[in-house]
A and B are shown apart, each in its own frame.
Chain A
Amino acid sequence: MRPSVQEMIARSNGKKNKKVIEKIMPVLLFLIASVSVLTSVGIVVTLIVETITFFTRVPFFDFIFGTTWLPFSNKDAQFGILPLIVGTLKVTLIATVVAVPIGISAAIYLSEYASENVRRILKPILEVLAGVPTIVYGFFALTFVTPVLQSVFPEIKIFNAISPGIVVGIMIIPMIASLSEDAMSSVPKSIREGALAMGSTKFEVAWKITLPAALSGIIASVVLAVSRAIGETMIVSLAAGSTPRFDGDFTGSIQTMTAYIVQVSKGDAGYGTTIYYSIYAVGFTLFVFTMLMNILAGYVSKRFREEY
């Protein structure tokens, strides 16, 4: 005979370890949840501690205002980070120029024009594009985009800022498109229908109603994507070269902050050398850049949200 419900409850209450488990589990799970906090603390502390060691050897102002990055010179090593920042900004600028118009246009098409069937085909394609590993994009930039660019503009070198910039742009298109589409889809239907009923064309609805109403979400998506572009590593390591330069040239070899960290890591800079500590100082600068962008994105989407 199967036990009655009362018996089952009584039996369950009789178990000794039951009360203990109920007490332990919340604590244990809280500890697990704190791992993410510990990770953040770990990142910040690691970067700060090693960066402070770096600044005992290289003056702070030489680092942030210096225009020469020459870490591997034996006699006269110089650690002015501006060339690396300029390199990062070059790639980011091109990526933004490529990705913002395409990403937002795709978002408008998906949210305003596309039928349910078309959307069902296009959205997974964007997801696949977002899931391609960055090393694959890097290979693509180096072996396809650069040669194509070279055949049109012969002055472009094998390592340059344009090709990785374009490919980083392609990489962040899905991010801008899907986040902007989310923002546009949350604009209430009634407003759109109101405009259509007044005789607007679909384009006028998209341009004058949906876009302004979703602007905060769209800007936030762009800022997040820019932050992704700044932190992108493999594409620039493979295709942008390793020449830190403080100028406005896009056609020759450059170096970004991320690519410098990779360059040092794959060589064997001994533990404890100034070069070893410099990757933490560069990493910290990179971290500050991306963090500021992420905070800005959060601020924009909160502060300027249109409430309906």
Chain B
Amino acid sequence: MRYIEQQAVVKRMNGRLIANSIFKYLFLAATLVALVALVILLYRIVSQGMGHLSIEFLTNFASRFPEKAGIKAALVGSLWLMLVVAPTSIILGVGSAIYLEEYAKQNRITTFIRMNISNLAGVPSVVFGLLGLTIFVRALALGNSVLAAGFTMSLLILPVIVVSSQEAIRSVPRELRDASFGMGATKWQTIIKIILPAAIPGILTGSILALSRAIGETAPLIVIGVPVIIQFLPAGVMDTFTALPMQIYDWSSRPQQEFQTVAAAGIMVLMAVLLFMNSIAVIIRNKFDKRY
């Protein structure tokens, strides 16, 4: 008895092999589309913006004249924004993660909080802007200040920080915990002296990546009413300010060709800030990877 029609198999073999290699290169080509898009994007921005990038660009305020336009107010404004967003979002995010991983019982409230966090991650950023406009700008009367924008951004990136902190806390080995309890430490002592120090690299990596998302986010700032042309630097968290992406948005949407060059230079500054933050995250990740 013959199980396989040898003739039939041989006949079809060539076609199958050809299909296999065609599709292999087709799939590879699709993957390379992403790479090509990234290269073109970076090349375009650098070739356009390089000419405008100078020390004056970093130290000048915004201007009606493209050649005088600088990014000082936006750069300092973004730093002020981070001064509010970093502590707010990390305290809220890590606190939530500790609660969910260490204290939360398996009940409906916990399931609800978890579900809620994953749903919050899917809400468009412009909707967070509407929340900030109503609650922080109007109801709490913070105006379009650094504080109002900072709180809005903190809520926007909260889900990302919670999830990455939860993963970091979960990856701390059980033995460390058991040993700490075995030595007579209480739950809070174990959390603050054993678990958090062990989870800190993971928490930091996740938080920095989340903060770099906040620094590039534009839509909520526009909705809150963050202005663009500002000729002074904020002196405190209640002052009005402008931020890098706002400034870039304003320059990009101007009709004059010259402002596109300015926008490209602004994007280079923004990308440099992001690159700096991401490399810190990568360094932390590599340094502390697989300690256990």
Looking at chain B's contact residues, is the secondary structure mostly helix, strand, loop, or mixed? helix
> Contact between B188 and A108 (Cβ–Cβ < 8 Å)?
no
Q: A125, A262, A280, A294: which contacts B34 (Cβ < 8 A)?
A: A125
> Contact between A32 and B91 (Cβ–Cβ < 8 Å)?
yes
> Contact between B130 and A101 (Cβ–Cβ < 8 Å)?
no
For A142, give the chain B residue with the smallest CB separation: B252
Binds B, one of A17-25, A54-62, A78-86, A246-254: A17-25
Q: Please report the C-alpha to C-alpha distance between residue A265 and residue B227 in the assembled complex, in whole angstroms.
A: 11
- Say how far A33's CB is from chain B's closest CB, in angstroms: 4
Q: Please report the C-alpha to C-alpha distance between residue A129 and residue B184 in the assembled complex, in whole angstroms.
A: 48
Per the 8 Å Cβ criterion, residues 234-292 of B in contact with A are 245, 248-249, 252-253, 260, 263-264, 267, 270-271, 274, 278
> Contact between A139 and B124 (Cβ–Cβ < 8 Å)?
no
- The answer to whether A258 has its CB under 8 Å from any CB of chain B is yes
Contact sample, A vs B, 14 pairs, CB 8 Å cutoff: A22-B187, A30-B103, A32-B91, A37-B113, A42-B131, A132-B216, A133-B217, A134-B216, A134-B218, A139-B263, A177-B31, A224-B122, A234-B249, A293-B122
Per the 8 Å Cβ criterion, residues 233-292 of A in contact with B are 233-234, 237-238, 258, 261-262, 265-266, 271, 279-280, 283, 286-287, 290-291
Q: A: which residues have CB within 8 A of B?
A: 5, 9, 12, 18, 21-22, 25-26, 28-30, 32-37, 39-40, 42-43, 46-47, 50, 101-102, 105-106, 108-110, 112-114, 122, 125-126, 128-129, 131-140, 142-144, 170, 173-174, 177, 199, 201-204, 206-207, 224, 227, 230-234, 237-238, 258, 261-262, 265-266, 271, 279-280, 283, 286-287, 290-291, 293-294
Q: B: which residues have CB within 8 A of A?
A: 9, 16-17, 19-20, 23-24, 26-31, 33-35, 37-38, 40-41, 44-45, 48, 91-92, 95-96, 98-100, 103-104, 112-113, 116-117, 119-120, 122-131, 133-135, 138, 155, 158-159, 162, 183-189, 191, 209, 212-213, 215-219, 222-225, 245, 248-249, 252-253, 260, 263-264, 267, 270-271, 274, 278
> Contact between A139 and B159 (Cβ–Cβ < 8 Å)?
no
> Contact between B222 and A262 (Cβ–Cβ < 8 Å)?
yes
Contact residues in A for B16 (Cβ distance below 8 Å) = 201, 203-204
Looking at chain A's contact residues, is the secondary structure mostly helix, strand, loop, or mixed? helix
> Contact between B19 and A290 (Cβ–Cβ < 8 Å)?
no
> Contact between A261 and B116 (Cβ–Cβ < 8 Å)?
no
With A32-B91, A136-B270 already in contact, the answer to whether A294 and B159 are too (CB < 8 A) is no
- Say how far A144's CB is from chain B's closest CB, in angstroms: 5
Contact residues in A for B20 (Cβ distance below 8 Å) = 201-204
For B134, give the chain A residue with the smallest CB separation: A46
For B184, give the chain A residue with the smallest CB separation: A9
Residue of A22, A50, A105 ringed by the most chain B CB atoms within 10 A: A105
Residue of B104, B130, B186 ringed by the most chain A CB atoms within 10 A: B130
> Contact between B218 and A135 (Cβ–Cβ < 8 Å)?
yes
With A30-B99, A113-B24 already in contact, the answer to whether A18 and B48 are too (CB < 8 A) is no
> Contact between B38 and A128 (Cβ–Cβ < 8 Å)?
yes
Q: A42, A102, A199: which contacts B33 (Cβ < 8 A)?
A: A102
- Say how far B281's CB is from chain A's closest CB, in angstroms: 10
> Contact between B17 and A233 (Cβ–Cβ < 8 Å)?
no
Q: Please report the C-alpha to C-alpha distance between residue A15 and residue B24 in the assembled complex, in whole angstroms.
A: 67
> Contact between A37 and B31 (Cβ–Cβ < 8 Å)?
no
> Contact between A126 and B34 (Cβ–Cβ < 8 Å)?
yes
